[in-house]
Amino acid sequence: MSHKDAKIRAFFVPSRGGRSPLSGGGAPPGGAESAAERTQSSTLFVRRARRGLAFTLVVAAAIAAPALPPHRSARADDGNAADVATARDLFIQASAAAQKGSWEEARALYERSLALKRAAITLYSLGVAQKRTGQWVEAIESLRAFLAEPSATATKAYEGPARDAIVELTPKLAHVTVTLAGGALEGARVEIDGRRVPDAALGAARPLNPGAHVLTATAPHRTPVKRDVTVKEGESTAVELVLEIEPPAPSATASAGPAGPVTSGAPAGTSAATAQATGTATAPPSLPGEPSRVLPVTLLVGGGALLAGGIAMGLTGVSDAGSAPTRDGPDARRARTEALIGDILAGAGVAAAAAGVVVLVVRWRSAAPASAPPAAVTLGPAGIAVRGRF
């Protein structure tokens, strides 16, 4: 380990003998210790322990000193005082983790301590932990923030190692320049390892820690894109992300698929999906080229109704005429009127039914294949008959 690294690790790293500066070091190698040596070692241990205690007190004072303004009492700002106390405890835990070489744990604890209380010694210690865990970009910024703090007696000894570490790490950083094909897009979002890259930073070299990284880009109505990039120490690279226009979504009718069997009885305007879900269905639509049956069916039904009504009215008139006391009285005249109305209704019904049959035959004859025999209408003693294939 170089002298520079020893200075950066400072108080937070165990000595080669397996003990931290707080524990006073180990016994000299080889042989048993004499009483004088044990006495001297004990004295040295006490002195180092006192220095370690003094350092801890200095660190605690450095963290807690700006916590409360002189004109405010601790009772008036209990929340802030509690945050400072928690930050101090987290700092001590982080220092203990650093002494054991658990730099990942130490870094997380330093970050939590700094979030509660900003202190120069925490910034420096966090920078050391970030350097040890490969977060060189973050380490440089933490150490620069430490150097930007007002110089104090308690932390002045670490200013030199902080500058040395910045000089050492800066040329090792990788850089990536991210651009969007076609220029900036409204609502576009570019991320590196889940952290957003501001729009103003697009097209500019961005420092990265060496290793593997994931670049993503999204934008409204564009297909998201993802790129895996691996950079080495001191390497610079450029990445262009292409956001393709999203293809149009398939229509609802195209994606619905074939419909199941349907029956009549659903209200008009009911879709196939709705009819299937509600248990109702619409009548199957006419096939292409198939003539409509609405008009002839209407004529046939209407003609049948008129014919039935006319027959009923005629029978009523005949019955009333038979029960009339005189042939020229009012009852007889009413009966004749009813019979006349019955004849008219019956005639209109026959005409309408005949027209419906004619329309039906003509339309189906025009749509029937050439091999189909033509339909024929005959008038027999039982009524109108239609023969043939429709």
Give the DSSP letter of residue 205. Answer: E
For the domain that residue 218 is a member of, what is the CATH number? Answer: 2.60.40.1120
For 106, the domain range is: 3-27+35-68+76-171
User: Which residues lie below 8 Å from residue 30, measured CB to CB, with a gap of 6+?
Assistant: none
> What is the tally of helices (H) and strands (E) in the chain?
11, 9
* pLDDT range class, residue 182, cuts 50, 70, 90: confident
Residues 44, 159: one domain?
yes
* pLDDT range class, residue 26, cuts 50, 70, 90: very low
Mean pLDDT of the chain: 74
Instruction: Tell me whether residue 261 is in a domain.
Output: no
- Specify whether the CB–CB gap between 143 and 135 falls below 8 A: no
Residue that is last in its domain, among 125, 154, 171: 171
- Positive or negative: CA dihedral 97, 99, 100, 103: positive
Residues 209, 330: one domain?
no
CA dihedral 138, 139, 144, 146 (to 10 degrees): 110
- Specify whether the CB–CB gap between 165 and 6 falls below 8 A: no
- Beta pairing partners, 206: 176
Q: Encode pLDDT of 294-311 as tens digits.
A: 777 787 787 788 778 778
Backbone phi, psi, residue 38, to 5°? -65, -40
pLDDT (0 to 100) of residue 76: 43
- Specify whether the CB–CB gap between 158 and 119 falls below 8 A: no
pLDDT (0 to 100) of residue 88: 96
Q: How far apart are CA 7 and CA 285, in angstroms?
A: 88
For the domain that residue 149 is a member of, what is the CATH number? Answer: 1.25.40
Residues 42, 147: one domain?
yes
User: Which residues lie below 8 Å from residue 180, measured CB to CB, with a gap of 6+?
Assistant: 188, 190, 202, 217, 240, 241, 242, 243
Q: How far apart are CA 87 and CA 190, in angstroms?
A: 34
Residues 161, 299: one domain?
no
Q: How far apart are CA 240 and CA 182, in angstroms?
A: 10
Instruction: Tell me whether residue 277 is in a domain.
Output: no
Residues 346, 379: one domain?
yes
Residues 309, 355: one domain?
yes
Residues 336, 210: one domain?
no
Residue that is last in its domain, among 199, 219, 241: 241
Q: Encode pLDDT of 28-81 as tens digits.
A: 333 444 445 444 544 443 354 444 445 554 555 556 555 444 444 444 455 589
* Structural domain total, the chain: 3
150 pLDDT higher than 60: yes
Residues 182, 167: one domain?
no
Residues 167, 179: one domain?
no
State mean pLDDT over 168-175: 96
